[in-house]
Each structure stands twice: as C-alpha cells, then as structure tokens.
Chain A
Amino acid sequence: MSHAVSPLREPLVSEARTLHQLTDEIARPMERRPTKAWWCAFLASFSALVLGVYCVSVQVMTGVGTWGLNKTVGWAFDITNFVFWIGIGHAGTLISAILFLFRQKWRTSINRSAEAMTLFAVMCAGLFPIIHMGRPWFAYFAAPYPNDRGPLWVNFRSPLVWDMFAISTYFIISAVFWYVGLLPDLATMRDRAKSAIRKAIYGALSLGWNGSQRTWLRYETVYLLLAGLATPLVLSVHSIVSMDFATSILPGWHTTIFPPYFVAGAVFSGFAMVLTLMIIARHVMGWKHLITIRHVENMTKIMIATGGIVGFAYATEFFTAWYSGNELERFAFSNRAFGPYAWAYWIMVGCNVLIPQFFWFKKIRTSVAAVFALSILVNVGMWFERFVIIVTSLHRDFLPSSWAMYAPTFIEVGTLVGTFGLFFTCFLLFIRVLPAVSIAEVKAVSGYARKIGVTTEFREQSAKKPVDSWRERNGEPNGHGGRTPPQPQSTQRSEEKKKGDKKEDAGAGADLVTEAGE
C-alpha cells in the first residue's frame, strides 16, 4: 500500500517511530516509579479531595442549611458546579465519538485521556444533584421502581427525571465506550507485564484479546456503532440539562435558545479543560511528538467556533429580551449586566467572548504557554456563565420584597474544591495504571502522510533480515525439506524455538527469497 502522499498532509506522529518504540513510549510511564512531580500533584489533589469529603459529610449530617441558599436563591453553587462539570465532560465524547464519525484522525492521541476526563467529570457532576437533595440516602427515589407506596411512580414529565436518565445513561455508555477502546491496549500491557500481579490484572481486564482480525472487524463495527450512539447522546444530555431551566417560567431561564447554547458552551469549556490537561501531559510524559502543536491548534480552532456560538447566544438573549417587550424579561437581562452581580457577568463575557478571539492569531495558537493560560481563563469564564444564569435570574424575582443576595459559604467552596480534588486524583491515578494515549490507534496512524513511513522502513529492514524459519529449528536442510510439515511435540517445539530465536541463521532467509523468485 505504498500510495502517493499529498505534500499538503502533515504526519500525525511528528517524528518517525517504529511500532515497538510507540508501545514503549506510551507504556513506560506506567512501568517506572512515579516521579516527584506526580507525587506533589497527587498529594495536592488528594488533600483537596479530603477537604471535599469533609465538607460533604458536614452538609449531609447537618443539612443544606450549611449552604448560603435562602428562600429566593434556592439554586446556586451546587447546580452551577453540576452544569459546569457536565459541560467539561462533553468534550471527551465529542473527541471520541463525533471526531471519529468525521474521520478526524488527529483525535487518536488525545481521545483516551479525553474520555477518561469525561468519566471523572461526570462523577463530579453527579455528586451535586445528589447532595442537593438534602437527604441523599433517598436518591434512589428518582428511579422508577416498584415500591410499597402505591406504587407511586416518578413524574416522567419532569426534566429532573429526564436528567437522571440522561446522566446515568451518559455515564454508563461513556464508561463502556472507554473500556472497549482500552481492550487492545490492555492486551499490550498484559503481554509486556513482568510481574505476576500486573499480568493477572491486565490479563483479566483485557478479556483474552489476541489481536485476531475476526475480532478486529467486529470491534471496529461496534466502535462505529457506539460512536453513532454516543453522538446524539452527548447532544441530548446537555439539552436536557438546559431544559431543567428552560421549562420553567422564570425570566432569564424560559428561552428556547438554551439547548444549543448549552451544548456549544459545554464543548467550549470541555475543550478548554482538554487543552489544560493535554498541555501538562505532553510536557510531563514527553509526548510532544504524539500530542503535537497541530493538536493544540486544532482544539483552539474548535474553541473559536464554539466560543463564537456562545457569544452569539449571549447577544441573542439580550435581543430577545428587548424585542419581546416583556418588562420582566427586560429587567432580568439589564439586572444581569448592570445589577449587583454585574462583575460576574462581565468576567463571563470577557473570558468567553473576548479571550477566544486571541486564537485567531497563529502566534498565540502555536504558543503552548499562551494557550495554557487562555484555556484556564475560559474555564473560569464558563464556570461564571452558569453562576450568572442561575443566580442573577433568581435573586431578583417577581416580588421586590423577596429580593435577596447570595454568597457561598465555606462548605460550598470546599465542596467545589473537593470535586477538583476528585477529578485530578482520578486523572493522576489513571495515567499511572492505564495507557493515557491509545497505543493501537496511534500505531494505525503512525504511517499517515509519510512517504518513507514506519511501515516502509520496517519492510526494508525485514527484507534484509534473515527469515527465522521452522526448518532451521528442526534441523532440516533449508527449503529442501519434505512436502509434509514436521510434527514435533509441543514442549519440544517451544524449547527449540527459543534456540532458534537466538540463532538467526542468514542462510534460511536467502534461500527462501530465491525460492520465491522462481
């Protein structure tokens, strides 16, 4: 398959690597002891997680009175964090499913960790609605199960019930998609493993994967089907999250623009988080030829597009509020931009509308430090977007006598910090135990856009190399043996094979090549 390569195409793996080198480079960080930097990051994340566990325990034992909520502002930090984390997760599915359907081959080196990010982000997100219930031990009431209260069923017309189905389906399908994608790499890890424990664990997890083409064909079909299912799923999840707001009659929430606006915002914030994580990973793990500047650039371009949609949605909301002629709607939006929470609104506009405009400049797109700083600012902006939508719409409601202000308590801030702790603790453990770059998929694209690619080099090498034939091991004359293959016993054969591996006689290969020429 040595077809001509367009000079416009750039290799996806920016330095030539053999297949074995790729396996080594991706697997090695898991096989050596953790570095000091890893321990520092882990201890910091784990401390944050411990703080989060403390804060959640306090509020579960005491009640939601430990939060800064009041009668007017009944949703604030918890739902902001919930929507924020769900949004972070969406970029993972976008990279693994939507870019797969669009045949964007550059996704191969970032999809694994982006999917892991999705799982951990959804775990963080799922925590908030549960603790928000106040009595989380009754969380299972949200599921329709036969009970002795009638049975009293859940209200399927409620977006909160839709949310429960959407988030749990999203988590399960993302986890399955991720695991199926991991199978070939788990087998690679199993076959490399030296210790018996590693062998047993990777052996059990890899489900006896042996690289069979018959399995590969079904596997590829299943992967395509899962991508096809996950694509509408990810769009549905954030649409349903937005309906938690949009189906209410509250000015500022009651708008039809919410589903696409939320989905675009989710992808926007998710890519910012992927960039933050990937820039650290490529630096720490030495994967600059796998996660290249081109990957960083491509992701910033997606952020320009989704950031543009988000900015357009902000403008549309204001236009609709003015054009509707509805006084309450007009008030909600002027209060948003010029009321007591105007500072939060302008942080949101600054980070989400202005910051992505820097990515129009190639110099900034290709500067890793600049992209890293800007991606963090976008994350901050997207957190504030959810805060602005929720708190500014609630705190000045229809009756001026019930207007109130909201400020988070230590417990609420501690819970948010705790979810960051959970997220980064999980991520740091993940890069220690599972291949954070898809080994099999990167191998498949390593020859992409290379005239003298890895595969061709290999062929040249192997053509020169002598063939390690079974005839040698059985002491038969080269290429002149009988027509029937020898029938050695299996134990004998494996012993002989070991000898044969070391020997590598040049004669066998030369002879076979001549024979082929005849």
Chain B
Amino acid sequence: MSARMFVAYFGSEDGILGATRAVREAGFEIHDVYTPYAVHGMDEAMGQRPSRITWVCFFAGAFGLAVALALQIWTSAVDWPLNVGGKPHNSFPAFIPVAFELTVLFGGLTTVAALFLRSRLKPRMSNAHVLPRVTDDRFALALVVEGHAFDADRAEAICAAHGVVETDFVEVSK
C-alpha cells in the first residue's frame, strides 16, 4: 500500500520542527515526518497524542505477576506440597523475587512485541520504503496530496521559509 506524497527535505532539526508546526497550522494533512534521530518536541509540533503502549506494558506486567504467583503457589502448596525445612507450603514472602522477575519479563517482552506489531517493524530485504538520507542527515516532511485540494505552492512557500533543501513528489508506503 502506498500513496503519493509531497515530501520536503530539511537539513536541520530546527527547520523541520518549524515547518511541521507551520504546515499543520495552515491546515495541511501531515502523513509523517522522517528523522535520523528522535527530535525533541516533534510530537507536539505534529499534534500527536501520547502512545498507549504504556497500558500494554502495565497489563502484561500484571499478567506476568499473576502467572508467577499462581505457578509458585500451585506447585508448592497444591500440586505436590513438600515440607522444606519446616517452612509453610505457601511461603508467600519467598515467592516475591520470582514474581518480580516474571513481571519484568512479561512486561518488557510484550511491550517490545507491541511496538513491533503496531509500527509494523519486521525483517525486510529492501530499503525502497526509506526516503533518501533520512537515516543519516536529512529530515523529511511528508504531506498527504490525494483526497483533497492540495496547494503545492503554498506548501512549498511554507517549507522554503523554514530552509527547505529539496522538495519532491514520492510514493510513500503507508
């Protein structure tokens, strides 16, 4: 799946931040911004809402905690209770370290899996979907062209005011 985009390239963080904010205020629809590193304040410039992945982490961690406690109590006190050094079968305080470790393990792995799924990160053999130099020293702003009246002159003018170095129309995968 790909669509035609208007892409403006910038050479600096300041340029792309200013341009992104300006085109959004001018009513253009931003497809995405491509940067070589995480640009501070870009989420606010693009008007992004905070990621909901934190909830995935919370519930996966809680699930890990429940699994760990259930496993330990069931194996030690229900399935085959053994008297070890006179300690109670359900030695709850002694179960806390493993419960903590599994909370972290489930929470961490599920959060990363959620990132990969949500951002569609998977092994790919070609880098055709990557705009030139955005993993090196270019910052690219991609605007949606199709579906509504796109004013190319106005977009270019705004970008030029923020020091654009190159503009192009490109097929960008969605």
Q: Is A225's CB under 8 angstroms from B97's CB?
A: no
Q: Is A176's CB under 8 angstroms from B108's CB?
A: yes
Which of A18, A166, A214, A481 is within 8 Å of B48, CB to CB?
A214
Alpha-carbon distance between A217 and B45 when the two chains are bound, in angstroms: 12
Which residues of B have CB within 8 Å of A484?
Answer: 152
Alpha-carbon distance between A214 and B54 when the two chains are bound, in angstroms: 15
For A500-518 the 0/1 string (1 means CB < 8 A from B) is 0000000001001101111
- With contact pairs A161-B98, A165-B102, A191-B127 given, residues A469 and B156 touching in the complex (Cβ less than 8 Å): yes
What is the number of contacts between chain A and chain B, taking CB atoms within 8 Å? 279
- With contact pairs A219-B115, A512-B157 given, residues A441 and B51 touching in the complex (Cβ less than 8 Å): no
Which residues of B have CB within 8 Å of A493?
Answer: 169
With an 8 A cutoff between CB atoms, is A452 at the interface?
A: no
Alpha-carbon distance between A440 and B157 when the two chains are bound, in angstroms: 30
Alpha-carbon distance between A216 and B118 when the two chains are bound, in angstroms: 12
With an 8 A cutoff between CB atoms, is B3 at the interface?
A: no
For B123-134 the 0/1 string (1 means CB < 8 A from A) is 111110111011
- With contact pairs A469-B167, A513-B160, A516-B161 given, residues A222 and B115 touching in the complex (Cβ less than 8 Å): yes
Segment among A79-87, A147-155, A419-427 that sits at the interface with chain B: A147-155
- With contact pairs A180-B115, A211-B130 given, residues A169 and B102 touching in the complex (Cβ less than 8 Å): yes
For B1-27 the 0/1 string (1 means CB < 8 A from A) is 000101000111111010000000000
Q: Nearest Cβ distance between residue A107 and chain B, in whole angstroms?
A: 15
- With contact pairs A207-B122, A210-B134 given, residues A462 and B160 touching in the complex (Cβ less than 8 Å): no
- With contact pairs A162-B98, A207-B121 given, residues A467 and B166 touching in the complex (Cβ less than 8 Å): yes
Q: Is A156's CB under 8 angstroms from B121's CB?
A: no
Q: Is B136's CB under 8 angstroms from A188's CB?
A: yes
Alpha-carbon distance between A501 and B53 when the two chains are bound, in angstroms: 40
Chain B residue at minimum C-beta to C-beta distance from A170: B101
Interface size class of A (residues with CB under 8 A): 35 or more
Q: Is A203's CB under 8 angstroms from B119's CB?
A: no
- With contact pairs A184-B135, A459-B15, A462-B11 given, residues A203 and B127 touching in the complex (Cβ less than 8 Å): yes
Alpha-carbon distance between A287 and B4 when the two chains are bound, in angstroms: 42
Which residues of B have CB within 8 Å of A518?
Answer: 157
Within 8 A of B (CB), among A207-232: 207-222, 225-226, 229-230, 232
Which residues of A have CB within 8 Å of B13?
Answer: 1, 447, 455
Q: Is B33's CB under 8 angstroms from A470's CB?
A: no
Q: Is B105's CB under 8 angstroms from A217's CB?
A: no
Which of B50, B119, B163, B168 is within 8 Å of A459, CB to CB?
B163
Alpha-carbon distance between A219 and B167 when the two chains are bound, in angstroms: 27
Q: Is B127's CB under 8 angstroms from A199's CB?
A: yes
Q: Is B112's CB under 8 angstroms from A176's CB?
A: yes
Q: Is A173's CB under 8 angstroms from B95's CB?
A: no
Q: Is B157's CB under 8 angstroms from A516's CB?
A: yes
Q: Is B168's CB under 8 angstroms from A497's CB?
A: yes
Chain A residue at minimum C-beta to C-beta distance from B87: A157
Chain B residue at minimum C-beta to C-beta distance from A21: B137
Q: Is B104's CB under 8 angstroms from A459's CB?
A: no
Alpha-carbon distance between A486 and B38 when the two chains are bound, in angstroms: 33
Within 8 A of A (CB), among B56-84: 57, 61, 71-72, 75-76, 79-80, 82, 84
With an 8 A cutoff between CB atoms, is B158 at the interface?
A: yes
Which residues of A have CB within 8 Å of B126?
Answer: 203
Alpha-carbon distance between A37 and B137 when the two chains are bound, in angstroms: 32
Q: Is A157's CB under 8 angstroms from B38's CB?
A: no
Q: Which of B4, B98, B134 has the most CB of A within 10 A?
A: B98
Q: Nearest Cβ distance between residue B169 and chain A, in whole angstroms?
A: 6
SS class, residues of chain B in contact with chain A: mixed
Which residues of A have CB within 8 Å of B124?
Answer: 203-204, 207-208
Chain B residue at minimum C-beta to C-beta distance from A240: B97
With an 8 A cutoff between CB atoms, is A23 at the interface?
A: yes
Q: Which of B41, B114, B129, B152 has the most CB of A within 10 A?
A: B152
- With contact pairs A213-B42, A440-B37, A440-B38 given, residues A456 and B115 touching in the complex (Cβ less than 8 Å): no
Interface size class of B (residues with CB under 8 A): 35 or more
Q: Is A180's CB under 8 angstroms from B130's CB?
A: no
Q: Nearest Cβ distance between residue A4 and chain B, in whole angstroms?
A: 15
Which of A23, A213, A240 is within 8 Å of B33, CB to CB?
A213
Q: Nearest Cβ distance between residue A64 and chain B, in whole angstroms?
A: 25
Q: Is A515's CB under 8 angstroms from B107's CB?
A: no
Which of B36, B131, B160 is within 8 Å of A512, CB to CB?
B160
Alpha-carbon distance between A196 and B130 when the two chains are bound, in angstroms: 17
Q: Nearest Cβ distance between residue B79 and chain A, in whole angstroms?
A: 7
Alpha-carbon distance between A210 and B37 when the two chains are bound, in angstroms: 11
Alpha-carbon distance between A240 and B101 when the two chains are bound, in angstroms: 11
With an 8 A cutoff between CB atoms, is A187 at the interface?
A: yes
Alpha-carbon distance between A162 and B98 when the two chains are bound, in angstroms: 6
Alpha-carbon distance between A431 and B166 when the two chains are bound, in angstroms: 35
- With contact pairs A208-B123, A470-B169 given, residues A443 and B36 touching in the complex (Cβ less than 8 Å): yes
- With contact pairs A144-B71, A222-B115, A479-B153 given, residues A208 and B120 touching in the complex (Cβ less than 8 Å): yes
With an 8 A cutoff between CB atoms, is A183 at the interface?
A: yes
Q: Is A210's CB under 8 angstroms from B131's CB?
A: yes
Within 8 A of B (CB), among A391-415: none
- With contact pairs A20-B137, A225-B57, A233-B104 given, residues A218 and B97 touching in the complex (Cβ less than 8 Å): no
Alpha-carbon distance between A465 and B163 when the two chains are bound, in angstroms: 9
With an 8 A cutoff between CB atoms, is A483 at the interface?
A: yes
With an 8 A cutoff between CB atoms, is A461 at the interface?
A: yes
Which of A156, A210, A488 is within 8 Å of B94, CB to CB?
A156
Which of B39, B71, B104, B136 is within 8 Å of A20, CB to CB?
B136
With an 8 A cutoff between CB atoms, is A444 at the interface?
A: yes
Chain B residue at minimum C-beta to C-beta distance from A224: B54
With an 8 A cutoff between CB atoms, is A360 at the interface?
A: no
Q: Is A211's CB under 8 angstroms from B43's CB?
A: no
Within 8 A of A (CB), among B134-156: 134-137, 140, 145, 150-153, 156
- With contact pairs A2-B14, A20-B137 given, residues A485 and B75 touching in the complex (Cβ less than 8 Å): no
**Sample (28) of A-B pairs whose CB atoms are under 8 Å apart:** A150-B80, A152-B80, A156-B95, A166-B97, A177-B108, A184-B36, A192-B136, A203-B123, A203-B127, A205-B123, A209-B135, A210-B130, A217-B50, A225-B54, A225-B111, A236-B101, A243-B97, A455-B13, A462-B163, A462-B164, A469-B166, A470-B167, A483-B153, A485-B6, A485-B145, A485-B169, A513-B160, A515-B156
